[in-house]
Chain A
Amino acid sequence: MESRSHRFKENAAAALANPVLQASMKKAKGKFVDKRAIAIKEIDDFEGTREAAKQLRDRVLENLDLWLEKFESNATARGATVLWAKDGEEICRHVAEIGKRHGIKKAVKSKSMLSEEAGLNQALEANGIQPVETDLGEYILQINNNEPPSHIIAPVVHKSLDEVADLFEKVHKTPRKTEIPALTREAREVLRTHFLTADMGISGGNFLVAETGSVALVTNEGNGRMVTTLPRVHVVITGIEKVIPTLEDLSTLMRLLPRSATGQSISNYVSVLTGTKAADELDGPEHLYYILVDNGRADVIGSEFQEMLRCIRCGACMNHCPVYQAIGGHAYGWVYPGPMGSVLTPLYTGLENAIDLPHAATLCNQCGVVCPVKIPLPDLLRKLREKQTDRNLRPWLERAALKAWAFVAASPTLYALGVWFGVRYLKWLAGGKASIPVLSVAPEWTRGRDFPAPEGRTFRELYAQRKQP
């Protein structure tokens, strides 16, 4: 997927001015945040479980090469073929080759963010394979001219019921329906036909279990099960960081992932899939391929950003982020929005291509406290800012202003002089009023709010006077 992250500010402005988006975001926030808060109370030792999850993810990352080999050998022993992809282009090439080998005409897909990273659908079409997104949200986006998702687990969180109703009427050429169950039923019927006629299923992977060489898939709709049960070929596309050691570790993570994501104690379907169907089995794929993807991940290993690779893609950080809640996911411009996206996008697409994202956060740490694997997201955002500074990527004026301010702040005399003038200037601007409506030194501040007037003299002046009556 081509990144539009360099246009973050324009994207965000458009989002703030979009009333449908604003209404949708307001509705979604209540549901995600409130439901999670209730669901985590069911766990006696939620903090202990988070810590255990963090440790088990770290355990793998610290020896990722060997865990990958372990997974690969166990998966291969069960009849799977393990392929590796350095980038999105190689993902597409692998899938096209698999398609050619097995004479594939149609691929049904359950949600895979890596397929978004790779822009896989376009590549499939170019190779004569019809891709069909089957997650309801992803399907809605696909029939809306391949619109990108705005959330990693709720892809159409930005859309209203009305928009979906209009879209279905137009694309399905059916009478307009306005009830959500009726729209869901309509999509079910359309997609059921595709499930039954597809010869390839493409899924992501929530986890790769090294112990058994399995992929764990977590879904609610059942599309993940369809995609991995009905077609004769199943392709799993997943990042190299998704390995976990054991089924016990999967059990631990399953106490966190659904609760953090949708506020469910467990998702409706947790499938642990291993190898290909036996000769006498009545269903299941004859061929199973894993495509293990780097696309920037290997370079994060061993770096100060390694903790980001613990991410289990629950979306809690964006659900709880005041910035995400205000602007939605599209503004972030690439596959992953919100705090995790603001860390991943610069790491995977280049620091210079997402210059605003690490700064697009108030560092309120709401994301850090809800993260089920304890990723210190604000710290990582701040470290990215530091990298930008080191590489002189920030605007010249900002750097100069910061340096000048730091120079002054380091000198008590200069600083006292600076604030002496500053406070008088602000007081003069206020002209006797309590607020300053336009502040030319901080136009961003006063475009949307007033700047309160200062009292008029600095604390240091008043304190010095008080001490010498």
Chain B
Amino acid sequence: MNARRTRKRLLGAVAVVMVAGLVSTGCGSRVGASGPGSSSGRSCVDTSGNSVKIGFLNSLSGTMAISEKTVHDSLLLAADQINSSGGVLGKQLQIISEDGASEPTTFAEKAGKLISSDCVAAVFGGWTSASRKAMLPVFEGANSLLFYPVQYEGLEASPNIFYTGATTNQQIVPALDYLKQKGVKSLFLVGSDYVFPRTANKEIKAYANANGIEIKGEEYAPLGYTDFSTIVNKVKAAGAGAVFNTLNGDSNVAFFKEYRNAGLSPATMPVVSVSIAEEEIGGIGLDNVVGQLTAWNYYQTIDSPRNAAFVQAFKTKYGQNRVTSDPMEAAYTSLFLWKEMVGKAKSFKADDIRKAADGVSYDAPEGKVTVNGENHHIAKTALIGKVGPDGLIHAEWSSGAPIQPDPFLKTYGWAKGLTG
């Protein structure tokens, strides 16, 4: 009995020491990376040889791995293609991959490691807004560059981040324009309970208010929530013209299964989703989402030689049953945009790249994209798509031309007061 008690106490002590060790190393790496001493002049990027290191930072484990693994795949494809066509400024890319493990603090820690111990020239990755917000101070402190490939809630423009996914005025606002054009008079908002859906819905409500659209209800489910019977009951009872869905991750599956079981259909009440891409349709079950709407800037079905080449290359590398999606395309494009920026600046230094960034364009699978040097976002074409019986998404409506990025919605009168 006594022996066991001592052992238990020992175990407790060991645990405390381990936790303390973890905490202190966590802080250490972050302080080192964001300390005042680490300015651009002290950059340890080595460009003397015939190769240059870059970092890929995606969640390869944990709850976000389902999405981020695909982004990692398409980044590797882009690196392969760049290397086989002569590299960047004549240097081959050497990839260092790190696992963000779906934890914002891990993202910050690994970003610090990539910058200060691997000395990479730039980092590509991140998915959730929480992971981006955690990495932001690391990149700003070390004056390094992050390329972030996912649509997000806007209201941000760091000099050390290039945002190659859509901001709100390139995805959510066009989706609302489309619904208004279709004569939708009322909306029901369903979202996951975290920063992106809450910010997006604030913007949607401001838009609705200015455009005479009634908001019939607004419901949030905790991330990973799986029982949607009550929320679907509320949606059904409210009888809105359409549902605007900002749910993220697995919750979508439960939501759409429940929606269909309750007898609701795209014909009577369409659902517009901003987080469901080609990759997710298989997991939700095609029967449950066929005919529903999505808002993105890229679909696998885009009919252009450039996209056909991208899809073909991806399937050849990873298998014929794989699909390509918007975040994957944005990640692929981000690596080529960085290559163009480096080529224009003739330098791997963050300051030089920043100066050269404005107006750099690339003929991406989604069409021509151009970097805005002021807010570091890129001009993209918005596409509203419908899930087809083939499991792919087909564009129903297009904004026609690339939309200039406006992360703070400054050019929209109804958005006054949102951005503070």
On whether the two chains bind one another, the answer is no
A interface residue numbers (CB < 8 A to B): none
